[in-house]
Amino acid sequence: MSAAVPLPVGTVLRRRFELTAVIGQGATGTVYRGIDHRWRRGGAGRAEVAVKVARDRASAGPRIRHEGHVLGRLRHSHLVPLRGTGRAGALPFLVLDLLSGETLAQRLGERAGRGLDAETALRVVAGLGAALERLHRLGLIHGDVKPGNVMVGPDGHAVLIDLAASRPFRPRVPGAGSGGSPPFAGDDVTPAYASPARLAGLPPDPRDDVFSLAVVACTMLAGRHPFAGRPVTEAPAPERPPGLDGGRWAVLSRGLAPEAGARPRDPTTFAARLRHPGPADRLRGWGAALALPPPRQAPILLRTRSD
């Protein structure tokens, strides 16, 4: 890893969790592969764990504590399980299940622009939709849904990770700061996957996650980012990718709508309709396919003087 890590490999936390290798670094912390020596001695469950250590105390520390608080209140098959929390000196850390597989970003990179097969892509979308719906019921948005924050197992099971950027959209969400304010300053977004409202710094809304999920879904199904990797505010409206079913494109188009009010509010409904577009979706898809292109403007001929 290019950046300095907060703790050296070999460190043992709480006389129990040994850090054996660095497996990832992000804006808030470093993720290590580790061994839970208590579980190894007891022979109960998997002894390998992932340990996420805050990059620093001042800015990343509150985000790691916030993520631990949120994960401590959630148990969901499409969210990474939390085993414990602690501090290494002044640095908070989380102990998480070590997930098998690879990130969705890695899997898409291996496909070299060909996308995933439709069944795998739709299964991933359904898993992410279920995880987001669970978060939304808690009054939080994830805030940073992107391929790098999705782990995909060998069987296609998707797990949403990195809740450090999650933010409350309801007032007075317990543990999220007074009046619903996040417990940290700033608002991290990944521009290529963020909604216009998130890019503008407006109050969070569940439909922001739906927008990001739609960008991820389109990238998986079409093999390319709908806005060519740019923020939605800097790109033209996307066109239906070749080979993508018209009904599914109608569902994706609603999820990609710049206006929040035009998007579905429920991510599970979005995922279900993407798998099985309804009659209205198919009608919209057919209408878009049959629509005549706008008339081309006649060229303007300029006369020039030869003398």
Q: Report the pLDDT value the prediction gives residue 282, as an integer from 0 to 100.
A: 85
Q: Report the pLDDT value the prediction gives residue 9, as an integer from 0 to 100.
A: 97
CA angle 84, 161, 14 (to 5 degrees): 20
What does the pLDDT look like over 120-139, one tens digit per residue?
999 999 999 999 999 999 99
CATH architecture for segment(s) 12-97 = 2-Layer Sandwich (3.30)
Per-residue pLDDT for 39 more than 70?
A: yes
Return the amino acid letter for 35: I
Q: Report the pLDDT value the prediction gives residue 187, as an integer from 0 to 100.
A: 62
Q: How many Å apart are CA 162 and CA 128, to the nearest integer? A: 13
Tell whether the torsion through CA atoms of 246, 251, 256 and 260 is positive or negative.
positive
Sheet harboring 29-36: ordered strands across?
Answer: 12-13, 17-25, 29-36, 48-54, 91-97, 82-88
Can you tell me which residue has the tokens 């070590």? 98
- List beta partners, residue 102: 152
Domain 102-289 belongs in CATH node 3.30.70.1380: no
Q: How many Å apart are CA 84 and CA 15, to the nearest integer? A: 13
Look at residues 126, 158, 164, 170 and name the one whose alpha carbon lies nearest to residue 267.
Answer: 126
**Quick check: 18 and 51 in contact, CB under 8 A?**
no
Residue 220 is encoded by which pair of tokens? 């998986």
* Catalytic residue of the set 144, 162, 208, 209: 144
User: Would you tell me how many other CB atoms lie within 10 Å of the CB of residue 225?
Assistant: 18
The full set of domain ranges for the chain reads 12-97, 102-289
235 or 178: which carries more pLDDT confidence?
Answer: 235
Q: 89: phi > 0 → left, psi -120 to 50 → alpha, else beta; which?
A: left
The model carries a pTM of 0.87
Q: What is the mean pLDDT of the chain?
A: 88
What does the pLDDT look like over 43-65, one tens digit per residue?
766 799 999 999 999 889 999 99
Per-residue pLDDT for 90 more than 50?
A: yes
Q: Could you confirm whether 144 is annotated as catalytic?
A: yes
**Quick check: 37 and 153 in contact, CB under 8 A?**
no
